[in-house]
Chain A
């Protein structure tokens, strides 16, 4: 039985980063907002208690706080001739569930896109000529430029308190920051995090080669901070339980730490949890949304209706991208119809594990890192009898399909030609290469650092092999 709920100005579907900031800004603008969230309520003190939050089995392995695929999942295939099958357990990407969404368990790397990313089609055409991109490619300009978005990047960084070092302030290069970034109007709200010992070694080596290493911008805060909404955050304690975990310490930027306490106090805001939206209702001409239909925990159908107002006919219905693919009528027609998800790329990240044999003093720290980052992977010398059996094994992570070079789809070829994409899930893949010996280590590092560093490599690089040592400008 469908109930009709009182009309509101705005229905926000999904109360993660985007939903919570949007809801808060709309409330501040005086609109009545209701948020519908498919998962449960979550807050730091209750759900990420410091006594129980650092639990690798519960959160990283059993995936307690991610969207449970039993509730909702996706079907996936890597090529059109494959059978699309449901993702039964998350692997390459981890959708959030509950208030805070994936902003609860994200890692906190907070890059801006480069100015060229917004005008990629014209940038590439202008720089390399018409012939570079294959026919029917999906690369296009975004219709919004970096310069237009810069104030909003800045605003978000201030809301989240991002820690980092600017490399380009209003066009002026800054020592110690990322020279390659677009011009920033302001320094990061908090200084970059203290770099660990391994990072220090790397930084020193890179500097000796006249390179410009810089700390990654992070949503893990280096210092106490109060954001524009009045939310107070504490300095990070470097515990390492970041991605896959909720932060118990109020140190990782999330809707919980940065927005929700302010939002929940807004008199014109209300929230319904365990409310799974199944449909966006449209006007007869299908040009505007009038509200949504959702199912609550008792299986009742409810309709949260919007109140049509002059100039605002629920254009602000906001939803996660994956769900949006199933509700195309609500979206503006876009280039390349029916290819939703084809260009899905996950965060690309390059990792290289090395063993510094001559640095013995740091062994316990190194061991701890190994234990944490290679959860479940055991060292040969510790388990001699069954070493072969144990090394490099991994749980049932969904691995990315690796395209044979001659079968690259149009869009992927473009990405591969740029040295972008196709490495989805790489950061979670086990690295089973044996560590280079100490003298070789240095040579190898020099070779890598003096090799071609441009991310415009020119040749397709389809396989995301752990052996690919090239150090690239990392993209979070």
Chain B
């Protein structure tokens, strides 16, 4: 990529396309990797959001596209933006090539621009891999399996939920997965180790792309983008690496040309400053994550013993649309499994946001989707495995006694060096 000879026509045009397309795709990196930069990076992003919405409406005839962030990277908006960037890249490459190729004495290769693009790619992928890796190591991306997650049947899971439950179960495996992303991310920060880092990223991201395609995880476009970028980082070294792996001799890569000592020092200081800023940004992102909320005193699964509504005890009849069968108490949400449910979807399972106040023994439950209708329940803990809830719920005055659900097979199994037989249930 940094060869000093003239490039072929196809390579020149392809390179120009890649530069224009890549700039649009990465923009406004590295500003968005710095701490507290939302103030700057969000307004910088807006023109591209407007352009995409306009392109969708005026050219493709798709009205009302907005860049609402909800965790999906495979929205219609994202596909339209990709198409827009590809078209702008093609137009840009055409205009640029027309200027350079038709005029006399235009450049025949772009070694310095290619080297700069290589550095940009390295840092971009490094930042993404570190962010994803740390989110796994600190168990933010895959939090431990919650009480609700434990009580959902596989048939009622979505494919993505199946993957999340699988990862959420194992802290060690999730941390391992995070290290497989964070370590190559670190290696990408230095020129010498960048190729090893990029090869490891290719292995890891191939697996993740396959997971995303196979388990309906809407990060297909972004994971493929990272995989392609890792491939581009390896490209200049690919031939040498393959030759060495096949047992052939390989030449040394010429060291980077040094500049004046003063400029080298500026480079070093700015690199160090950038890395520190990036580290601070990553730390602030982690520290502000809502998943770090502490669990409350009755986090877990509870089985209803008696259920009294408006003073009348209701027997556990599966046709009763009101009586509760059990309660899954997560940190910020709860699921009430109705006796009429039997793991049926729809109205037989109620899902609410809630907030437990241990000091006052109250639970504030949000019962509507808009977050406007709230109920305050009281609870007491006669014994560690007993729970009593009193409150008005959907117009009925409830008195519910519950006992803690028995320990689960999944969470009590633990690690075994010796297995006389497989335990596969």
Please determine whether chains A and B interact with each other in the same assembly: no
- B residues engaging A (CB < 8 A)? none
